[in-house]
Amino acid sequence: MQLQIPNQYKSSHIWWVLGVLVFMLFVRLAASPIYILDEAKNAQCAREMLQQNDWVVPTFNGELRTDKPVLHYYFMMIAYKIFGINEFAARFFSALAGFLTVLITYIFTKKFINDLTAFCAALVLVASTQFLFEFRLSVPDPYLIFFITVGLLTGFAYLQLNKFGFLLIAAISFSMATLAKGPVALALPGLCLLIWIVWKKKWTPVFSWKLLVAIVLVAVLTLPWYLAVDKATNGAWTRGFFIDHNLNRFSDPQEGHGGFFLVTLLFVIVGLLPFTSFSGEFFKKRKLLFNQELTQFSGVVVLAFILFFSIASTRLPNYAMPCYPFVAIIIGSYLSQVISGNISLEKYPFIIVFVILTLLPVAGYFAITTEVETAHIGWISFMLLVGALANLLVLLKWKEWPNYKRVIGLFAAYTLFNIIALQQVYPILYRQNPVAKTIHEVLKYNKVFAYEIYNPGYNFYLPATVNRFTNVDSLQVALIKNPSAIVITRLVYADTLKRLALHEVARHHDLFETPTTVLYVTKNRP
């Protein structure tokens, strides 16, 4: 069905959306401290590699880190050289990857469908709280999502148009994704493309010398680092990464991150609010929406990612995020049909969003006041009501506003919510963490010791590594030699340390977690 683009929509409106995206990704990017476990370890690992001028072996606190390949460390190392070692630098290229992910989604959707659908797909991504949040973190997922998006879209373009340039870009992108997350970043998108080839019988572009060149290019770009790190660590990194962080994560829930079979689907629906509130509607209109080959391909990608991570034993909200741009393309197709008047716009999804935006501040208040470290700032949750109030305006103006204005109103309401949530509430909240509250005390001491487990967020703010002990006697010997040292540990080990002459100087609960961080110094310190 042909789109009848309304007068209210102008193609130049995409610049407003991209401007909002820049604001959401880069403004107050350094306002939140490096505290979350993954952020702390990734940011510090890149810092250590830079300080050691080692571009091969990742380390955290001086020890080999096998969690992830090296690509995101490289980007952070470059940012540290440009901006210095700080929170903004650690997150800068993540935010840039978020901007480029939306831009590339828009460009290819415009190329293969139309301008209005591309605009709507961008709206979906820019309104998503989880999308924005993930691209404001110093973790590998932003790079993975961006390069998989580029790889799949250019791979699709190659199969449709048989242009060698698209294949080369796809090969480079999948290579970068493999250096960001591992071979799964090549295998899963490869499966999506294979399904598309078989379904649409796209055999001509496959049985070509061009594909062989692409395979060689992937090998040339990815294998050197994997071979170098394997050699430099005598196989330790290879064993740790492929066995512990890939096979074991797929076969058994790691770190308690399990869940029922449909939890991955639920993650996607919640992660792409507010526009997934239309899920029931665009499922009803699926025949109309999937009459374009790009939306069909997007459906293949979404199903493949959701099914794969539903089968995997370890389930986290960010795992299926590489399929978000393709969900956005599908939802964008629905919204463009709504705006053009081909599909009627139902009111109940807006009511669902209004209820969610009303309940979130209430739930947030109880969560914040239940946590001992944040109980005194429970009021900040009610700042989030601005989103519900803005959405209420859309509902009150329902009869007066055309569909385009209603959709933009929903986007604006959720954007206001995101501004308050990500740039105000979250930074205030996470500055109450034990690292931020005690780092000024820790920095007074030349030697920092840790007993058993400690919060890795300290490392990013300390000039040297933390000497970690797992034996009380060894710690005692170290304290005798360094009586002015400070000891970081957890409350659960307090009884074990009673026989040492230690004095507690600080105690703070880890935000929304079970452990409590405790700091000790020697009673007879000089």
pLDDT of residue 259: 54
Separation CA 3–CA 375 (nearest Å): 52
Q: Please report the pLDDT score of residue 6 as a whole number.
A: 75
- What is the crossing angle of helices 141-161 and 71-83, to 10°? 120
The stretch 128-134 carries a mean pLDDT of 97
Give the pLDDT band (50/70/90) at residue 187: very high
Asked if residues 324 and 131 have their Cβ atoms less than 8 Å apart, the reply is: yes
**Residues 189, 214: Cα–Cα separation, whole Å:** 15
Residues 288-302, mean pLDDT to the nearest whole number: 94
Assess contact for 230 and 289: CB atoms under 8 A. no
What does the alpha-carbon distance between residue 321 and residue 324 come to, in Å, rounded to a whole number? 5
Under the banding of pLDDT at 50, 70 and 90, the label for residue 525 is low
Give the pLDDT of residue 97: 98
Look at residue 313 in the predicted model and tell me its pLDDT. 65
Compare 282 and 142 and report the one with higher pLDDT.
142
258 pLDDT tier (thresholds 50, 70, 90): very low
Contact (CB, 8 A) for 356 and 334: no
Q: Find where tokens 């469908």 sit.
A: 113
Residues 425-444 have pLDDT tens digits of 999 999 999 999 999 999 99
pLDDT value, residue 288: 82
Per residue in 62-116, pLDDT (tens digit) is: 999 999 999 999 999 999 999 999 999 999 999 999 999 999 999 999 999 999 9
Confidence of residue 22 (pLDDT cuts 50, 70, 90): very high
Summarised one tens digit per residue, pLDDT across range 341-377 is 889 999 999 999 999 999 999 999 999 999 999 999 9
Q: What is the pLDDT of residues 437-490, one digit of tens each?
A: 999 999 999 899 999 999 999 999 999 999 999 999 999 999 999 988 999 999
* CA triple 102-103-105, angle to 5 deg: 65
